Structure 1
Amino acid sequence: MAQCGDFIKSQFPLIDDDLKKYVEDILDNSAGEFEDTEEVYEAVGEVLAGISEKSEEAIREICEQLLHMLQPDKTVNNGPRKVLDAPIHLASMTTTTNDTDALKSIWLQTRDDNLKVDAKKLEKAEAKLQQKQQRQKESKVTSAAPVLQTATASQVTSKKDNKLEAKGTNRTQDIRIENFDIAYGDRVLLQGADLVLAFGRRYGLVGRNGLGKTTLLRMISAKQLKIPSHISILHVEQEVVGDDTVALQSVLECDTVRENLLKREKEITVAINNGSADSNLSAELTELYAQLENIEADKAPARASIILSGLGFTPEMQSRATKTFSGGWRMRLALARALFSKPDLLLLDEPTNMLDIKAIIWLENYLQNWPTTLLVVSHDRNFLDTVPTDILHLHSQRIDTYRGNYDQFHKTKTEKHKNQQREYEAQQQHRAHTQEFIDRFRYNANRASSVQSKIKMLDKLPELKPVEKEIEVVLRFPETEPLSPPILQLNEVGFYYSKDKVIFTNVNLGATLESRICIVGDNGAGKTTLLKIIMGILSPTSGIRSVHRGLKFGYFSQHHVDQLEMNVNSVELLQKSYPGKSIEEYRRQLGSFGVSGDLALQTIASLSGGQKSRVAFARMCMGNPNFLVLDEPTNHLDIETIEALGKAINKYTGGVILVSHDERLIRMVCKELWICGNGSVTSIEGGFDEYRKIVEKELDAQNK
């Protein structure tokens, strides 16, 4: 293990001793269990990638070398190979040689009769082996992870639409999915729902976590819900596969029409240059040039470059191979490809999760001129106020449509619910008054006709239901004890991964238990690195970090959600993390983050992204931290939970440092703004409004 430790230190000279010890412990504990390089990468690759600027390919090569150190036996060495300088005829050797020892080679081995296999013994051994394998299979079946349920859909389609589809004459650009159901296992998500998407409109799909928004998008993209076959759909869900293709070319390849025309043009040009006598080639080439001009093929690279630039790709990054990018950047690349290809229906699921604030502002502006139909799931309140022309509200197993952005939807829905409640209460009073009259004069012969008419009137009244109030989301962070200042101080702090890759220098900042600090800046500017220095995960290369000895950090990162153990339920997860407490205590902790009842007993894998985030919050707070460091905590959270998170932060008695791109949350909680960029970290006056002005100026300069 010392060999591995020395190797890691040589590859990562700036690695913290504690972090190095942590990696060594992981490798030591699992040394004999690693099957291949991929398993080593899964165990320590992300940790190593977080402390350096090395590419994913370089990290994988390091993991491969670590595997050889841990398991040297895996590299089989049969000694040096001998190259024969002439052919050898083995049959002639057996007849000519008298040296019996020479025949005992790997080519000609005499069989010892004592080593012959007894047929009966072989049968018994094979029977025993089969029994053993059967027992292993049975034990695997009983201990296997629970099989995840899959979503299913059904819908009613009109005969008219079916006929048009069969004839191939359906040319409508609007999408109408009527009377459809979606279930996830035994749980019904949507029942008898209708969804109408008019061509050219931009729809924002909103609703609580776990109600089926992402499932609905997947059903549409997989065409499990039937829509006209001529409508092209693109669902941005998975990152681009990394290979040697350059980022800009990866985007251009989405336009298959242009790519095929260019390919054919190349073939014809080569044929003509080689002296082909085919007279049709010149006419076809002229036609190709006309088609390329018609689709403005020459402008495509510039358009692709503008999209990539808006999403944060520098000119240097645009010319790099896709395999050199991390997962987050490959997701941006997938988004760029979708925006470039302009499908008839574009489906986006939380597109702002992978973007910094500058890229979000650019995307908001870009999508306002989107020419086809857009359906986006987002929990970014500001994004939903800027982009959609309509809001689709998923609740109570149905979808309601509202004209306007999220702010207009919220006002309309609130007013609608007030009117519904007033109407319901008025009807209830009328029913009670009428029923009182009926009960009073039921047996009065003189009022019999009046009583009968009142009973008939009650029967004819429509049955109104009270407004279903959505359960308010409440998050509660633990109480903390006060600490005497100073709490946290960075003096002349600098950090670099290599001499030519300086992240920042001369950082002089401090925080207290009253701090509500938001760190902003472009992706790659060093926000997460700064958080790790603040918590002591990384050591500064210069300057001093001072912290109170009683300071206890609670760290939430977007990766914590992905790293939860998926095959256990939430209660079992807390039991493993903090053993020795009662079940009631674990359930109380989960309940304070909205994970209660049967939800706490579902496997983590079956929870929605937002529900997993709440479980991660509950686990983080089980250790009673007095200073929270939150790295993109709003990813996967619905709007109501983000509001609840803001309120919980404001009530929290400890300190908070936050990295977020959610404008509404920043405005709700942050009293101080730190900007990472240009090799420094600075605090600015004027709050988020001032920062937004800075970003918009940069975008204007970039567009010019």
Structure 2
Amino acid sequence: MQAEIRAQIPNADEVVVDYAAGYLNHAARQFSTEGDPLAEAASVIVQLLLSASGDLSSENEVSVHNLVEKFVSKLHDDRGVDGERRQQAPSAKRLDQTIQVSSQKNVSTTMGLAGGTVDLEAANARKVESRVDRKKLEKAERKLRAKQDKKEFKTVEYEASRLLDQTDEQQSYEEFFMAVNPLQLGSDAQSKSKDIKVDGIDVTIGGKRILSDTTLTLAFGRRYGLVGQNGIGKSTLLRALSRREVAIPTHISILHVEQEITGDDTPALQAVLDADVWRKHLLKEQQKITKELTELEAERSGMADTATDAARLDKQREGLDITLSDIQAKLSEMESDKAEPRAASILAGLGFSHERQQYATKTFSGGWRMRLALARALFCEPDLLLLDEPSNMLDVPSITFLSGYLQTYPSTVLVVSHDRAFLNEVATDIIHQHSERIDYYKGANFDSFYATKEERRKTAKREYENQMAQRAHLQAFIDKFRYNAAKSSEAQSRIKKLEKMPVLDAPESEYIVHFKFPEVEKLSPPIIQMSNVNFGYTPDKPLLRNVDLDVQLDSRIGIVGPNGAGKTTALKLLIGTLSPTSGLISQNPRLRIAFFAQHHVDALDMNMSAVSFMASRYHGKSDEEYRRHLGAFGITGMTGLQKMALLSGGQKSRVAFACLGLMNPHILVLDEPSNHLDIEAMDALSTALRQFEGGVVMVSHDVTMLEKVCTSLWICDHGTVEHFDGTVKDYKKRISAQAGAGGVAIQH
């Protein structure tokens, strides 16, 4: 087909020819109850080839039309010859005898829960709608559009491939859960290994390659910390795993905590219980089968004792008994009877009081719904638990609980985190993602990984530099004596030696991030003083009482406490966006405060570049000065000129910090500044805050940052803000002791 098109339209692009042939072949295999897909495709291809030829005359139009009709006729004839050429309409077939699927052991079955008795292991196999390579088709579309845009003459309106217009259907949580995690009944599923080893993984997003020919190895029961620079593709890898785009065996259940749950009238505790979809459906099915067995028993006892009817009922009952036995065995394996106290324990550990566990999910804010999503995943206890920056949504008490919970987690955990202390406590192994590959550091927490990685990098650099020097020495001798008769044999010997030397890749350049805040003009004290401050959003419900806080230019104050206790409110009182109900807040009249909000991205215009955004908000500098200022916060090269929508979360955070620097503040007030920053950027920020000549007040859940920056720790809890005479580690010990005394046990 391609050859005939090229012969008639010699100036058509190769991509147009291949696309036209592929589109017609694809349409010929489709089934539709409304019209003929091949005829519709033919009309599109006629216009496409006519446009690609550059000749819009009526003679050429007839010629192209006849050419396409010739192909259509041939494809129509092929439909009846080759059974695979066309997707046929579904048809029903009567079986010779009844097959009782539920009586078969070791069969993955939904037992009618997903719309019929089916083998989910087979049904879960990837469904291929066509043989057209979607990525190649997308590339062809882009080239084709670019060509059409350059045409000077009038062309027909271009119609893109319908393959590319097909969007993934939005699935409910239950549908997605059952599709990704087919139910496994019988002993066979239990005997299968839950170790994961997948070779030859390639992951790409938006044309950018994330991983190339990589091997993923996860030993069951190990806890892996996945680390790497911002934008390297860690979240993309987790998403690919959660959707089984990487070929993980279906008997290994997977859950990914990625987004907050949808709020409705369901109580929080029930929402957690409902998260284990198969448990919920198995309980319903158990109730249904029990009812059916009772009805069969009643029918059996009330009917005439004929052999045929009795045999029929006995056969029905036997099948139901076997299914019920499988269901009860699975529920026992799930420890279904212990589900509610376990769910309540998890919620309590994540900060939900007994009273709040009964609140409807729609009453919770986004952060609390994220906690619910985490609680649901912990409750389901999948074989592979995927967590993406779980500490971003938690306070220090909840992180302490989660850390302890995961340390006794019985299955495999893969967690993306930039919290050093959390990784040190949780991870048994570290996976480093970089340069389109992943490296494994077995038996390493974060600190040992970091030391080993640096040693590896230095060793690779030394080996590479030594080899380059050796190669240069050999090449110099060869160049000098290649044509010298007396030295030719020595030159040939060195040529062979050079050819046999292994080719070493150049080591990666060291990833270094710098943050630098501007110098601070001196102010005479007092800078900020809060005296006997009280505040409540409603008069009858005070949130903070009797707060006394003094901030100077050399202050390094860290505020910790449970979510909802009023930490962010205290910061807003400090900067003046909220007014106290009573008490006094005094500031130096020349004081400039820069506030980093927890949801700083909301203040950025995603359709603007960082340079344009700064120029619109902070006037008086040239673009070059803005770019230089961004460079002081790790936004270098052309990154500052890209739309901020294209930047990673960590890069957006750096832009926000750069904007704070343009205010020339005396005091930095920071609400969760470590969110979205990679570890190198967090180290750079910690160093910059220590070197900053003004004062720092921060609310943070990151233990490492608090330890590196803050010299004074304050606890916001029980309606007040009080100085804590101890370190962050001492505070964590106190939390653990209180949790133990309060009965928040870690149960699995």
TM-score (normalizing by structure 1): 0.72
Change (3 A) 1:399 1:261: closer
Paired residues, number: 539
Q: Determine the C-alpha separation between the residues in 1 that align with 2:206 and 2:346.
A: 40
Counterpart in the other structure of 1:402: 441
Q: Any gaps of 5 or more consecutive residues in structure 1?
A: 1-149, 151-167
Counterpart in the other structure of 1:606: 646
After superposition, residues 222-301 of structure 1 pair within 5 angstroms as: 222-267=243-288, 277-278=298-299, 280=317, 287=325, 292-301=331-340
Deviation at 1:569, TM superposition (A): 1.7
SS in 1 for 2:298: coil
After superposition, residues 359-398 of structure 1 pair within 5 angstroms as: 359-398=398-437
Counterpart in the other structure of 2:347: 308
After superposition, residues 63-142 of structure 1 pair within 5 angstroms as: none
Q: 1:447 aligns with which of 487, 499, 521?
A: 487
SS in 2 for 1:498: coil
Change (3 A) 1:427 1:267: closer
1:420-460 per-residue CA deviation (whole Å, 9 max, x = no partner) reads 22222332333344344445544443332222111110111
Q: Determine the C-alpha separation between the residues in 2 that align with 1:298 and 1:481.
A: 65
Counterpart in the other structure of 2:736: 696
Mapped contact 2:482–2:491 kept (Cα < 8 A): yes
Q: 2:593 aligns with which of 534, 540, 553?
A: 553
Counterpart in the other structure of 2:356: 317
Q: Determine the C-alpha separation between the residues in 2 that align with 1:571 and 1:192.
A: 37
Equivalent position amino acid for 1:371 in 2: P
Change (3 A) 1:477 1:418: same
How much identity, in percent, do the aligned residues show?
Answer: 53
Is 1:684 matched with 2:724?
Answer: yes
Q: Determine the C-alpha separation between the residues in 2 that align with 1:289 and 1:194.
A: 38
Is 1:618 matched with 2:658?
Answer: yes
Deviation at 1:519, TM superposition (A): 0.3
Is 1:202 matched with 2:223?
Answer: yes
Equivalent position amino acid for 1:259 in 2: K
Q: Any gaps of 5 or more consecutive residues in structure 2?
A: 1-166, 168-187, 301-316
Q: Determine the C-alpha separation between the residues in 1 that align with 2:469 and 2:275.
A: 62
Q: Determine the C-alpha separation between the residues in 2 that align with 1:464 and 1:285.
A: 60
SS in 2 for 1:522: coil
Deviation at 1:205, TM superposition (A): 1.0
Q: Determine the C-alpha separation between the residues in 2 that align with 1:600 and 1:438.
A: 47
Counterpart in the other structure of 2:580: 540
Change (3 A) 1:697 1:283: same
Deviation at 1:229, TM superposition (A): 3.2
Q: Determine the C-alpha separation between the residues in 1 that align with 2:285 and 2:212.
A: 49
Counterpart in the other structure of 1:494: 534
Q: Determine the C-alpha separation between the residues in 1 that align with 2:729 and 2:250.
A: 46
Q: Determine the C-alpha separation between the residues in 2 that align with 1:588 and 1:425.
A: 32
1:67-114 per-residue CA deviation (whole Å, 9 max, x = no partner) reads xxxxxxxxxxxxxxxxxxxxxxxxxxxxxxxxxxxxxxxxxxxxxxxx
Equivalent position amino acid for 1:306 in 2: S
Mapped contact 2:289–2:324 kept (Cα < 8 A): no
Counterpart in the other structure of 1:339: 378
1:94-145 per-residue CA deviation (whole Å, 9 max, x = no partner) reads xxxxxxxxxxxxxxxxxxxxxxxxxxxxxxxxxxxxxxxxxxxxxxxxxxxx
Change (3 A) 1:580 1:418: closer
Q: Determine the C-alpha separation between the residues in 1 that align with 2:248 and 2:333.
A: 29
Counterpart in the other structure of 1:462: 502
Q: Determine the C-alpha separation between the residues in 1 that align with 2:356 and 2:644.
A: 37
Q: 2:557 aligns with which of 507, 513, 517?
A: 517
Q: Determine the C-alpha separation between the residues in 2 that align with 1:218 and 1:297.
A: 29
Change (3 A) 1:324 1:278: farther
Is 1:632 matched with 2:672?
Answer: yes
Change (3 A) 1:236 1:434: same
Deviation at 1:265, TM superposition (A): 4.7
SS in 2 for 1:226: coil
SS in 2 for 1:348: strand
SS in 1 for 2:275: coil
Q: Determine the C-alpha separation between the residues in 1 that align with 2:641 and 2:263.
A: 38
Is 1:358 matched with 2:358?
Answer: no
SS in 1 for 2:216: strand
Change (3 A) 1:544 1:420: same
Is 1:651 matched with 2:691?
Answer: yes
1:637-669 per-residue CA deviation (whole Å, 9 max, x = no partner) reads 000000000001011111110000111111111
Change (3 A) 1:448 1:700: same
Equivalent position amino acid for 1:552 in 2: R
Mapped contact 2:286–2:324 kept (Cα < 8 A): no
Is 1:221 matched with 2:261?
Answer: no
SS in 2 for 1:558: coil
Change (3 A) 1:259 1:599: same
Q: Determine the C-alpha separation between the residues in 2 that align with 1:262 and 1:226.
A: 30
Deviation at 1:604, TM superposition (A): 1.3
Equivalent position amino acid for 1:260 in 2: H
CA RMSD of aligned residues (A): 2.7
Deviation at 1:536, TM superposition (A): 0.8
Mapped contact 2:630–2:658 kept (Cα < 8 A): yes
Q: 1:571 aligns with which of 590, 595, 611?
A: 611
Deviation at 1:471, TM superposition (A): 3.2
